[in-house]
């Protein structure tokens, strides 16, 4: 959901006509807000994600978007395992980060580690959206 918050801020700032969303592989956290340290991290960067709620990816949701951007290789494999198909599936790390997997910020508690993940997500989202103009 951090990537969604970053993307929404960039889209608003650039006046882009793009629709973005976020969904997880699992329904384990369905309906829950982001992890409190991630909300705090986003707020530190002027982004409010406290109102976001987790939801699982479905084929219907996937069909309503042109691209699916996964955080890592295991997410892409999980999409396949869930029989969620889409022509345009990429890793966020493919955009300005040399194809690296981006760690799930949920797994970190140290502020410096969260900040590093934020920087990766921010660069990936900025690079992804850099070719779009209002």
Contacts 24+ apart (CB under 8 A), 76-80: 78/25, 79/25
In the chain, pLDDT over 90 holds for what percent of residues?
A: 85
Distance in angstroms (rounded) separating the CA atoms of residues 119 and 45: 11
Element (H, E) at 69: strand 68-70
Alpha helices in the chain (DSSP H): 2-14, 36-44, 59-63, 73-81, 111-129
Q: Provide the domain limits for residue 120.
A: 2-129
Spatial distance between the Cα atoms of 56 and 43, rounded to a whole number of angstroms:
24
Judge contact between 1 and 51, C-beta under 8 A. no
pLDDT band for 44, please (50, 70, 90 cuts): very high
Using one digit for the tens of pLDDT, what is the confidence trace for 46-86?
999 999 999 999 999 999 999 999 999 999 999 999 888 88
Residue 66 domain-assigned? Answer: yes
- Is residue 27 one of the residues assigned to a domain? yes
Q: Which of 2-6, 60-64, 106-110 has the highest mean pLDDT?
A: 2-6
| 83, 84, 94, 111 from 14: Cα distances, Å | 35, 31, 22, 29
Q: Which CATH number does the domain housing residue 57 bear?
A: 3.40.50.2300
Number of domains observed in the structure of the chain:
1
Tell whether the model's pLDDT for residue 34 goes beyond 80: yes
End-to-end CA distance of the chain: 24
Task: For residue 55, tell me if it sits in a domain.
Answer: yes
Q: What pTM was estimated for this model as a whole? A: 0.93
Burial (Cβ within 10 Å: 0-12, 13-18, ≥19) of residue 86: middle
Query: Does the residue 134 lie in any domain?
Result: no
pLDDT digits (tens, 9 = 90+) for 75-87: 999 999 988 888 8
């Amino acid at each position: 959901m951090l990537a969604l918050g970053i993307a929404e801020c960039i889209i608003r700032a650039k006046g882009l006509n793009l629709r973005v969303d976020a969904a997880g592989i699992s329904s384990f956290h369905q309906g829950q807000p982001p992890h409190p340290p991630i909300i705090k991290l986003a707020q530190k960067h002027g982004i409010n994600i406290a109102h976001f709620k987790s939801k699982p990816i479905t084929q219907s949701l996937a069909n309503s978007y042109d691209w699916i951007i996964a955080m890592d290789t295991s997410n892409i494999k999980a999409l396949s395992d869930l029989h969620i198909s889409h022509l345009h599936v990429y890793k966020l790390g493919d955009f300005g980060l040399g194809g690296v997997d981006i760690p799930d910020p949920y797994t970190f508690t140290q502020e410096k580690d969260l900040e590093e993940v934020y920087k990766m997500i921010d660069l990936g989202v900025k690079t992804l959206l850099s070719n779009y103009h209002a």
